[in-house]
């Protein structure tokens, strides 16, 4: 084992020790009953994970190492430890590919991607909103919802995504979150007549009244 890997492993073990002390068996059981399976899970709350992770100095390489582990708490901690300014378009899919837990993806969008440079947000708007995979599209919407990226650049792509992912409820929910926050920039007529588009339109009408 090289020195860097050995250092990462020992740091991870120390971090895992602090996280395990906050283990909540009842939460683990409830998450399992809800169908949340796959990665090892200690049931530690997200605020506690953030607090513990924030005691580790930002380290992008270490964060990527943590994120590759099959442990819920380490992946969530990685979103706080990673350095947004160090993100590159080439590595973005590492944070999304193979992850189907929305809790983890939401944390990555909030704590890491939304704080990245404008170039990363532009890449996500151009590539992920217009791409062929629903999960990157979901993450892009959850990320851009928390940035100053121009809504007029997002809305046409959002509409096409709702057409492309006509019955993907997660994409629809992310689109709804974006449209709710940017309602003043939205033309409801732009939303497609698909299951996803109708869901977003109906929810917005309930919230704001149709115009």
Rounded Cα distance, 48 and 55, in Å? 11
Written as six digits, the tokens of 164 are: 């492309």
Longest pairwise C-alpha distance within the chain:
63
pLDDT of residue 33: 55
pLDDT of residue 57: 96
Strand-pairing partners, residue 40, are 71
pLDDT of residue 209: 85
Written as six digits, the tokens of 176 are: 């709804």
pLDDT of residue 28: 59
DSSP code per residue over 71-105: BHHHHHHHHHHS-GGG--GGGGGGGTTT---HHHH
Q: Crossing angle of helices 151-164/134-144, nearest 10°? A: 150
pLDDT of residue 23: 82
Report helix, strand or coil for 155.
helix
- Residue 99's region, left for phi above 0, alpha for psi from -120 to 50, else beta, is beta
Which of these, 85, 24, 78, lies nearest to 53 by C-alpha position?
78
Rounded Cα distance, 21 and 9, in Å? 19
pLDDT of residue 92: 96
pLDDT of residue 159: 96
pLDDT of residue 210: 76
Q: From the first residue on, what is the mean pLDDT of each consecutive set of 10 residues in the chain (211 residues)?
A: 77 94 69 59 94 97 96 97 97 93 96 98 96 96 97 96 97 97 90 96 91 59
| 19-25 LR contacts (CB < 8 Å, sep 24+) | 19/44, 19/49, 19/52, 19/73, 19/74, 19/77, 22/48, 22/52
């Amino acid at each position: 084992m090289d020195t860097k890997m050995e250092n990462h492993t020992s740091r991870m073990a120390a971090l895992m020790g602090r996280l395990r002390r906050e283990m909540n068996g009842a939460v683990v059981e409830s998450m399992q009953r809800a169908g949340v399976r796959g990665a090892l899970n200690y049931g530690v709350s997200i605020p506690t994970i953030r607090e513990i992770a924030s005691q580790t100095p930002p380290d992008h390489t270490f964060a990527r190492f943590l994120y590759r582990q099959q442990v819920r708490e380490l992946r969530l901690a990685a979103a706080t430890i990673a350095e947004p300014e160090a993100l590159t378009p080439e590595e973005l899919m590492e944070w999304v590919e193979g992850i189907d837990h929305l809790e983890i993806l939401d944390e990555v969008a909030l704590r890491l991607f939304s704080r990245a440079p404008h170039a990363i947000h532009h890449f996500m708007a151009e590539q992920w909103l217009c791409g062929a995979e629903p999960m990157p599209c979901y993450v892009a919407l959850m990320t851009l919802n928390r940035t100053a990226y121009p809504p007029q650049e997002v809305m046409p792509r959002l509409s096409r995504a709702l057409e492309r992912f006509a019955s993907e409820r997660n994409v629809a929910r992310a689109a709804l979150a974006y449209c709710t926050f940017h309602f003043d920039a939205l033309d409801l007529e732009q939303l497609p007549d698909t299951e996803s588009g109708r869901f977003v339109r109906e929810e917005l009408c309930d919230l704001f009244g149709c115009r």
